[in-house]
Amino acid sequence: MQVSEREALARRVLNLSPAPATEVCVFDDDSALTRFTHNSIHQNVAQRNLTVRIRAVDGKRQGVASCDALDEPGLRRTAERALEIARLSPEDAEMSPLAGGGTFTTPQGAFVSATAQAGAQRRADVTETIFAQMEGHNQWGAGFVTTASSGVTLATSAGLLASYDATDAGINVKANAGNSTGFAEQHVRDQRALDGRAVAGRAAEKARLGSDPQAVDVGDWTVIIEPAAFGELLSYLAQHFSAQSYVDGSSFLSDGLDRTYAGDNVTIRDDYAHPEVLGMPFDFEGSLTRPVTLIDRGVGRHVVTDAYYAARLGVANTGHALPAPNAYGPQPRTLILEPGTKSREELIAQTKRGLLITRFWYIRPVDQRQTIVTGMTRDGTFLIENGRIAGGVRNMRFNQSILGVLRACEPARELMRTGGYAYQCVVPAVKVERFHFSSGTEF
């Protein structure tokens, strides 16, 4: 659906809503994914959805109803249901007023029509290049090729009308070579930049290098964590940067802002306009989203807010609200770790003995307040000896404080946008001293 159609739909809902005040959010998603294993496609899907979310406000009461109907009776029924819920709800003293006007500028390049128009044949073509690369290495690949477009329009009866459109495309390849595996990924806005051959080649090389993996002792290791793994690790810090967690006492930052939590080479930001992010310039309350420096050279500086928490903390609103009302509070969108000065290769070359980690798996908090998490390595763990990769290593489990990592890490200079099961990050590889592994595996 074109942005003009989405905005017309939002206006139509505002006009037919019986509530004294109304907010409408229209989500439009069209995504497709070709999934493969053993160098053959086993799942090939396309899904299209359009959701209309209506928040009816009556004084200090609010109610939310949503539907994916576009016809007038369906929309009217949903708007009436939202108002009915609002009138049955208790008053909400924390409710912020509906947003009025505002001007927002979407970062250039967020939406690429070539991605939005890509079809099954394009995905098949990219997939075919991956298969060819895998077969050339006498390996088999599992992974996906995906293209997606999405749009959001937020409008209120107080005069707000804001829209954002974006596209995404990605490749994910796990290469399998007998007793070893390797992983590589690519995430871009423009599908024409997808390079199946290169991504598959990197994954295949990892699998080749890791053949006949050996067990190493558990304990503290110097590690070089590549972006896919580090992004996943860092994502488990995201919740700590929410003003709600800060106020609740469940964030490490609850000990106080303007205190040192990480090394002086660690700066973490949230910035929707970063060239690797190109995100939405407003939040779901219709506030302008601002770039936020969360950790500045090791010092915890800011948390992200919505209107309620900004007022409660007496700070400027950073514009990170989720759709209201919600129990989650404001959330950072994308964590960006400022790069260092050395290349990944230099970090490896300067490591006498350590481990190179491609990917983590199943990271979960063990102790939220202490930022201790556990997880496994997978798809490419290597022993580094005297600055060179000496061979593959069997997978291991770690138990490690994320703040401990940030106190003892050296970021590389190459930034990469990671997909990640939990969260999107833009991070370099990092070298970390004393990363703790607690148990091993036979593979």
Segment 326-345, which members bind another protein (CB under 8 A)?
326-327
CB-based contacts of 320, cutoff 8 Å, min separation 6: 242, 270, 283, 289, 292, 304, 305, 306, 330, 331, 332, 333
Out of 5, 8, 16, 37, name the contact with another protein by CB under 8 A.
Answer: 37
At 155, the amino acid letter reads A
Out of 19, 64, 262, 425, name the contact with another protein by CB under 8 A.
Answer: 64
For residues 437 and 92, what is the distance between their CA atoms, to the nearest angstrom? 47
- C-alpha angle 179/361/396, rounded to 5°? 60
Q: Is 163 in the site for another protein (CB under 8 A)?
A: no
C-beta of residue 340 within 8 angstroms of C-beta of residue 411:
yes
Q: Is 145 in the site for another protein (CB under 8 A)?
A: no
CB of 331 to another protein, least distance (A): 14
Out of 361, 390, 391, 407, name the contact with another protein by CB under 8 A.
Answer: 361
Out of 33, 116, 158, 257, name the contact with another protein by CB under 8 A.
Answer: 33
Tell me whether residue 245 or residue 334 sits nearer to another protein (CB atom). Answer: 245
C-beta of residue 426 within 8 angstroms of C-beta of residue 415:
yes
Tell me whether residue 86 or residue 335 sits nearer to another protein (CB atom). Answer: 86
Q: Is 421 in the site for another protein (CB under 8 A)?
A: yes
Out of 14, 65, 310, 402, name the contact with another protein by CB under 8 A.
Answer: 65
Q: Is 376 in the site for another protein (CB under 8 A)?
A: yes
320: left (phi over 0), alpha (psi -120 to 50) or beta: alpha
Tell me whether residue 132 or residue 209 sits nearer to another protein (CB atom). Answer: 132
For residues 312 and 247, what is the distance between their CA atoms, to the nearest angstrom? 9
Out of 3, 16, 31, 301, name the contact with another protein by CB under 8 A.
Answer: 31
Tell me whether residue 125 or residue 385 sits nearer to another protein (CB atom). Answer: 125
Spell out where 285-327 has E strands. 292-296, 299-300
Out of 17, 22, 34, 115, name the contact with another protein by CB under 8 A.
Answer: 34
Out of 42, 60, 259, 353, name the contact with another protein by CB under 8 A.
Answer: 42
Backbone angles phi, psi at 436, to 5 degrees: -95, 120
CB of 7 to another protein, least distance (A): 19
Q: Is 138 in the site for another protein (CB under 8 A)?
A: no
Q: Is 179 in the site for another protein (CB under 8 A)?
A: no
- DSSP character string of 67-88: E---SHHHHHHHHHHHHHHHHH
Long-range interactions of 250-257: CB distance < 8 A, separation 24+: 250/368, 250/369, 251/303, 251/369, 252/300, 252/369, 252/370, 252/371, 252/403, 253/300, 253/303, 256/300, 257/300, 257/301, 257/302, 257/303
Spacing of C-alpha 241 from chain mean position: 14
Q: Is 346 in the site for another protein (CB under 8 A)?
A: no
Q: Is 209 in the site for another protein (CB under 8 A)?
A: no
Out of 60, 72, 101, 124, name the contact with another protein by CB under 8 A.
Answer: 124
Q: Is 275 in the site for another protein (CB under 8 A)?
A: no
Backbone angles phi, psi at 387, to 5 degrees: 80, 5
H/E stretch holding 116 reads helix 113-116
At 184, the amino acid letter reads A
Q: Is 237 in the site for another protein (CB under 8 A)?
A: no
Q: Judged by CB under 8 A, how many residues of this single chain contact another protein? A: 91
Restricted to residues 254-273, the positions that interact with another protein (CB under 8 A) are 254-255
Q: Is 60 in the site for another protein (CB under 8 A)?
A: no
Out of 291, 362, 385, 388, name the contact with another protein by CB under 8 A.
Answer: 362
Q: Is 440 in the site for another protein (CB under 8 A)?
A: yes
Out of 274, 368, 390, 433, name the contact with another protein by CB under 8 A.
Answer: 368
Restricted to residues 77-116, the positions that interact with another protein (CB under 8 A) are 78, 81-82, 85, 88-90, 92-94
Q: Is 349 in the site for another protein (CB under 8 A)?
A: no
Tell me whether residue 28 or residue 271 sits nearer to another protein (CB atom). Answer: 28
Taking Cα atoms as reference points, which of 426, 429, 428 lies closest to residue 335? 426
CB of 342 to another protein, least distance (A): 29
Supply 206's token pair. Answer: 């990892």
Q: Is 72 in the site for another protein (CB under 8 A)?
A: no
Supply 272's token pair. Answer: 């929707």
Task: Considering only the stretches 15-23, 59-67, 262-270, 294-302, report the one whose residues sit in contact with another protein under the rule CB under 8 A.
Answer: 59-67
C-beta of residue 225 within 8 angstroms of C-beta of residue 231:
no
Out of 101, 178, 219, 291, name the contact with another protein by CB under 8 A.
Answer: 219
Helix-helix angle 72-88:3-16, to 10 degrees: 50
